[in-house]
């Protein structure tokens, strides 16, 4: 979720990378780079950190790089969050477009604070997931439709994304990229299995859930949810993440994760610092898993499952 936190200075964190060869051009399968950030309200510092990760991703042979939700900044208050927001034609997206062109890499910009319609009157934003090609062109945008409004007093969690954000109007069709067809989500969308199933039925081979999970919900649910979405949809799941302390009272769980179509975790960036992991995407593995366990053929039509709701309603009447 896009969250508001307090941060007055930027902490330089070492980059975490897995033990892989420095060049991966000999890889049989296309490579994706899964990035983990610890952003603040300093947009330029956040951009510099992201640039370092993207340059490393390109050097190692990645064709597509994934950045987390709120990759642009995390504000100290509702007011600052809104004040720092931009349009899709603003400086932040323009600078990432320049990077995409210079590095010749596709980007998943996982959660951009986009100014909403009638901005001057309403002062509300979208949590916008942007897919940008290697020419710096925006080829798809998805605006998060499930907003994180949750009160868990026993876990110390009280967040209301709807206080400053507008829910997106709809899902968007999966988009073709050099590593496969991406189905776009953001963070809290992960908790709704019907969301992922709709994307898979529309052709998604890879589900993406850029996130900023809290430590409490992350420790309890992050990996199980990601693995469940991979297993039940027989897709790759790639989830870039925020990590670390943003101020004394707010931190993010981290553990940017990649899961294959069998539910195996193939990359985990850990829960301590910024960094990246490289992931091979083998589309043949999707075909093999779906062929050997044909869930799509075994699934009944939507009317079959809806019948139970009708029966329950009838019995109550």
By annotation, the residues acting in catalysis are: 69, 144, 187
CA atoms within 13 A on the CB side of 292: 9
C-alpha span between 149 and 204 (Å, rounded): 28
Grouping H, G, I as helix, E, B as strand and the rest as coil, residue 226 is helix
C-alpha span between 220 and 224 (Å, rounded): 8
Residue 25's closest CA among 69, 75, 62, 51? 62
Q: Tell me the backbone φ, ψ of residue 305, rounded to 5 degrees.
A: -75, -30
Helices (H), 115-176: 119-122
Residue 148's closest CA among 175, 123, 121, 167? 167
129 burial via Cβ count (<10 Å: 0-12, 13-18, 19+):
buried
C-alpha span between 32 and 50 (Å, rounded): 15
The two structure tokens encoding residue 188: 């809290």
Residue 214's closest CA among 253, 158, 240? 253
The two structure tokens encoding residue 241: 């993440």
Q: Which helix (H) or strand (E) holds 286?
A: helix 283-292
């Amino acid at each position: 979720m896009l969250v508001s936190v307090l941060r007055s200075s930027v902490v330089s964190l070492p980059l975490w990378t897995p033990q892989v060869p420095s060049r991966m051009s000999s890889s049989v399968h296309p490579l994706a780079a899964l990035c983990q950030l610890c952003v603040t309200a300093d947009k330029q510092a956040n951009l510099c950190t992201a640039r370092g990760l993207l340059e490393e991703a390109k050097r190692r042979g990645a064709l597509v790089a994934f950045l987390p939700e709120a990759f642009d900044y995390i504000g100290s208050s509702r007011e600052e969050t809104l004040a720092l927001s931009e349009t899709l034609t603003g400086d932040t997206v323009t600078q990432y477009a320049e990077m995409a062109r210079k590095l010749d890499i596709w980007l998943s910009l996982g959660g951009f604070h986009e100014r909403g319609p009638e901005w001057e009157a309403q002062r509300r934003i979208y949590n916008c997931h942007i897919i940008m090609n290697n020419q710096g062109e925006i080829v798809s945008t998805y605006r998060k439709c499930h907003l994180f409004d949750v009160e868990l007093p026993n876990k110390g969690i009280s967040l209301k994304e709807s206080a400053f954000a507008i829910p997106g109007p709809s899902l968007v069709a999966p988009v073709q990229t050099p590593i496969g067809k991406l189905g776009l989500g953001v963070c809290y969308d992960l908790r709704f299995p019907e969301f992922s199933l709709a994307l898979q039925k529309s052709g998604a081979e890879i589900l993406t859930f850029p996130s900023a999970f809290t430590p409490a919900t992350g420790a309890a649910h992050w990996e199980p949810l990601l693995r469940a979405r991979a297993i039940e949809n027989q897709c790759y799941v790639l989830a870039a993440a925020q990590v670390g302390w943003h101020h004394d009272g707010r931190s993010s769980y981290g553990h940017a994760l990649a899961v294959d179509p069998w539910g195996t975790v193939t990359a985990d960036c850990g829960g301590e610092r910024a960094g990246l992991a490289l992931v091979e995407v083998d589309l043949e593995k999707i075909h093999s898993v779906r062929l050997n366990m044909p869930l799509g053929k075994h699934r009944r039509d939507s009317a079959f499952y809806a019948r139970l709701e009708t029966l329950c309603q009838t019995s109550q009447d």
